[in-house]
Amino acid sequence: MDEQKIRLLDSQFAHFMAMRSELSGQEKEQFQNIVCRLSMGLAAGDSCLPVTDVEQDLIVRSGLSGVGAQPFYVFDKHLYMQRYFEHEQSLAKSIQALLTNSTELIAEASLFDDLFEKRDKAETDWQRVAAKRALQEKFLIVSGGPGTGKTTTVVKILALVLSASSNPLRIALAAPTGKAARRLQDSINNNVQTLMVSDSIKKSIPDTASTIHRLLGVKRYSPFFKHNVKNPLLYDLVVIDEASMVDLSLMDKLVSALRPGSRLILLGDKDQLASVESGTVLADMIEHLPGNTVELQRSYRFDEGIKRFAAAINSGDSAAAWALMSADSPDNVSLLEGDVAEYGGEMYCRYMDAVRGAASISDYKKLFQVFHSFKILCALRHGPAGVSGINGAVEEYLMQKGYDCFGADWYVGRPVIITRNEYTLDLYNGDMGISLPDPENPSSMKVWFERADGGLFGVFPGRIANCETVYALTIHKSQGTEIGEILVVLPEQESSLVTRELLYTAVTRARESVKVSSSRAVFECAVAGRIERHSGLGGRFAGN
């Protein structure tokens, strides 16, 4: 066991459990080692720990494994904490119910022709395939990289389902974060206007999206939600975007809360980072439920440069990816040769200039557009190349340029990111705001946030307990966003935390250009590294 990876929590938890086991001597030490490995794995995103036959026997004889109030459960040579086993079991059961109770809807062939462009017969229209599958199945995963048209496809699916249904349908749109929900909502609303369907169908497609937490109904100071298997959601169809970000626990609670007979559509990119918490739910379901998965393959968003760069990273071809950054073409994918703080500071000077000219709510809306046009994405939180170091360096650079930035103080224009859900304020982990005067009372400072409907709302700084400055943010926090220009900052030394999935996720946030600050050795190590998580969910779908 790598001692450097063992947290105090891991060792103390393992010791606590070993002392309460029915084992003694060397067997107690072996059991403590197993529990420590499980704890470490859970921190890394595993939902379980593979064990040998000998280890499984030892765990069973510990007296701490089994159904009911026992802390552990062993299943199919995997050791679980009881609650993660129950989440996997419950989720698999709920998905199985969706798979076995499918009812096909019939839509007019002419409507398919109106919604999907005609293509050469030799070319498969995967968006059309997904739409047909959605009418046949109550559970569908639409997978694909950024720009492949996942939300465009789901809008057309909604139109088809509505037209094929004999009764009015209640439809919910949701995503894991507020940012992702706003993006889903904007994309849905933009695409609805282009549909060649009746006005009545257009009006039946929801124009708002929420976070999954809000959809399920948050209970203050509780891990449970208002909607559950005993109090299900009232919707006939639920669409979840950015499903790769949804962890095992939340996905279980969501699917368990669906009312009998409802439909579920998940949208996501299996090659992006998995959820921060335990599980690889989307990837597991895509791998083991191919009959309920359609992968979109044509990209409509990226220009050729970013597309080729992302593809090289995703395929593990570090030489090709490095060559793209080093070449004169494409000019929107490049290696940053200079100082990160200087380059980032210069880019944020445009933002600070816009801050100086903003005086009304209308100006503030435009300011958010400027703010979202550029971001520094860091692989790590700490260190000179981490979020904390770069945020401080950028603020220092802006102060040297004459802008009023004073560290933790609430200066005009300070951008912040929420680091913990604030349910009473309707603010969620990852939401970003800007500190600006209240236009109706300029002597009063508020932190302004974007609403899902495109409006803004202000919160007094003193009410926000968990936030930090956000000129730079982690790549994890950038999930669910779309940014004009990005600067990706990798650490000075190789790290097992910097992986192919992390780099791919960062690069695919960009619409217009990508710069990378990294040595070649660190970059190649990142492209070679893969995230490997242990999960038993996929095995529960065997035979489907």
- Could you state, in order of their start, the residue ranges of all structural domains in the chain? 8-79, 106-301, 304-528
Q: Which of 37, 2, 44 is nearest to 497 (CA)?
A: 44
pLDDT, tens only, 397-434: 999 999 988 755 899 999 999 998 787 888 888 889 99
Is beta strand 333-335 parallel, antiparallel or unpaired with respect to 510-517? Answer: parallel
Q: Under CATH, to which class is 106-301 assigned?
A: alpha beta
For residue 45, what are its two tokens?
Answer: 């995103």
**% of the chain exceeding 70 in pLDDT:** 96
What's the pLDDT at 4? 44
Phi, psi of 36 (to 5 degrees): -65, -40
Strands 415-418 and 432-438: antiparallel
Cis peptide before 71 (omega within 30 of 0): no
Q: Are 448 and 436 in contact (CB under 8 A)?
A: yes
| Contact between 286 and 293 (Cβ < 8 Å) | yes
Which of 171-185, 193-207, 298-312, 342-356 bottoms out in mean pLDDT, i.e. has the lowest? 298-312
Express each pLDDT in 45-63 by its tens digit: 899 999 999 999 999 999 9
Cα→Cα distances 86→92, 248, 252, 262, Å:
10, 10, 9, 23
Pick the CATH number of 304-528 from 3.40.50.300, 3.90.870.10, 3.30.1360.70, 3.40.50.10330: 3.40.50.300
Q: Write the pLDDT tens digit of every residue in 112-125.
A: 888 887 776 767 88
Give the residue from 497, 525, 520 showing the smallest Cα distance to 379: 497
Instruction: Give me 501's structure tokens.
Output: 């999935």
Least confident piece of the model among 201-215, 341-355, 365-379 = 201-215
The two tokens of residue 333 are 């994918």
CB atoms within 10 A of CB 93: 13
Least confident of 167-171, 188-192, 427-431, 462-466: 427-431
For the record, the structure tokens of 186 come out as: 């904007």
Of the candidates 131, 137, 133, 128, the residue with the CA atom closest to the CA atom of residue 98: 137
Query: What local confidence, expressed as pLDDT, does residue 407 receive?
Result: 57
Instruction: Determine the Cα angle at 458 with ends 452 and 462, to 5°.
Output: 130
pLDDT digits (tens, 9 = 90+) for 488-507: 999 999 888 899 999 999 99
From the list 449, 471, 338, the residue with the least C-alpha distance to 399 is 471
pLDDT at 543 over 70: no
Inter-residue contact 84 to 48 (CB < 8 Å): yes
Q: Residues for the chain: how many in total?
A: 544
Same fold, 106-301 and 304-528: yes
**C-alpha span between 360 and 371 (Å, rounded):** 16
pLDDT, position 1: 43
pLDDT at position 112: 85
Note the pLDDT of residue 44: 87
* Strand-pair category, 432-438 with 472-474: unpaired
Q: Which of 98, 92, 147 is nearest to 269 (CA)?
A: 147
Task: Please say if the pLDDT value at position 471 is more than 90.
Answer: yes
- Angle, alpha carbons 63-74-77 (nearest 5°): 130
Considering the chain, what is the average pLDDT of its residues?
A: 90
- State pTM to two decimals: 0.85
